[in-house]
Amino acid sequence: MPFSERWRGVPWIVLSAAGFGAMAIFAKLAYRDGVDLPTMLFLRFAIAGVLLAAWGSAQGMRWPRGRNLLWLLAMGGVGYVGQAYCYFAALQHASAGLVALLLYLYPALVTIFSALLLRRQIGVGRGWAVAAALAGTALTIGGDLHSQPLGVWLGVGAAMIYSVYILVGEGVITRTGPLPGATVVMLAAAGVFGGAAFTSGLSLPATATGWLAVLAIAVFSTLLAILGFFKGLEKLGAADASTLSTLEPLITLVLAALVLGEVISNLQLFGGLLILAAVVYLARHGIKQTTDA
């Protein structure tokens, strides 16, 4: 793909990274307001899914059918449900920074799976960029010693599920388009979490601050973030889109310091610079891919 065409995917991934990076902060604020996990995730996906469906319908969006629809329902109702549950549950047992680190095991996993399963050539330079991004992500956390082991395991689980989700989504979204794909994924996830929330009893926000946090998760950290990632995925492919998204933990750390009072060390700042260096490199270099019919 020409450089100019690839470059168009970069702003979408940056927008997605900002949304996902801020999500941990909004979730912590919503938890403080008494919102429980099933209710938060139901509201997140229901609000975002309905808004996106309305927008798509107004523009004459064609809904996916057949096998593509089944794949998207599985991505939303199984893959994204599993990833979201692990991620938000981890935030109840670990710091936002540590959860961001553990989730960002997934760019390395996606890259490895792409090479092993899809026979894509990583290349030396791109391999070093992935290593630098992962090393920078680790440094931005700086060794959290206060989180519970359950939070660690949930964070690792979120990374593993998300890796598979991304590789599946690359092919499906190419066939259906990002708008229909994102809509079905979110509505499917909303259906699963809605069942769980109504079964256990809704726990709605108690104050305006809580509602604003939930709406921010639904609109900025879900609607715009997922659509942005799908748009970038079309241009960059799964491995590059995932690695560019390593801006997310840097955004999480900055917002955690500003909103939650978490301290950022010099080591963490150096890690952030490594992440940005990897982002610049990956934005300027393509991927050599091999596919077999």
Number of domains composing the chain = 1
| Beta partners for residue 121, in sequence order | 288
Going by pLDDT thresholds of 50, 70 and 90, the confidence category of residue 84 is: very high
For 10, the domain range is: 3-287
Long-range contacts of 153-156 (CB under 8 A, 24+ apart): 154/86, 154/87, 154/89, 154/90, 154/93, 154/94, 155/86, 155/87, 155/90, 155/94, 155/98, 155/99, 155/101, 155/102, 155/103, 156/102, 156/105
pLDDT at residue 89, as a whole number? 94
pLDDT over 80 (residue 129): no
Tokens encoding 153: 């395991």
pLDDT over 50 (residue 290): no
Task: Give the Cα separation of 232 and 240 in Å (integer).
Answer: 9
Residue 42 and residue 197 in contact, taking contact as beta carbons nearer than 8 Å: yes
Block residue for tokens 């940005």 = 276
pLDDT digits (tens, 9 = 90+) for 216-269: 999 999 888 877 887 887 777 766 776 777 788 888 888 888 888 877 777 777
Task: Give the Cα separation of 55 and 51 in Å (integer).
Answer: 6
Residue at 154 is within a domain = yes
What's the average model confidence in pLDDT over 94-117? Answer: 75
pLDDT over 70 (residue 144): no
Going by pLDDT thresholds of 50, 70 and 90, the confidence category of residue 104 is: confident
pLDDT digits (tens, 9 = 90+) for 191-204: 999 999 999 888 88
Residue at 278 is within a domain = yes
Residue at 252 is within a domain = yes
What's the average model confidence in pLDDT over 277-283? Answer: 70
Residue at 157 is within a domain = yes
Block residue for tokens 């997934």 = 106
Residue at 78 is within a domain = yes
Q: Which residues contact 54 (CB under 8 A, 6 or more apart)?
A: none
pLDDT over 70 (residue 180): yes
Residue at 79 is within a domain = yes
pLDDT over 80 (residue 142): no
Residue at 292 is within a domain = no
Q: What is the DSSP letter of 80?
A: I
Residue at 293 is within a domain = no
pLDDT at residue 166, as a whole number? 79
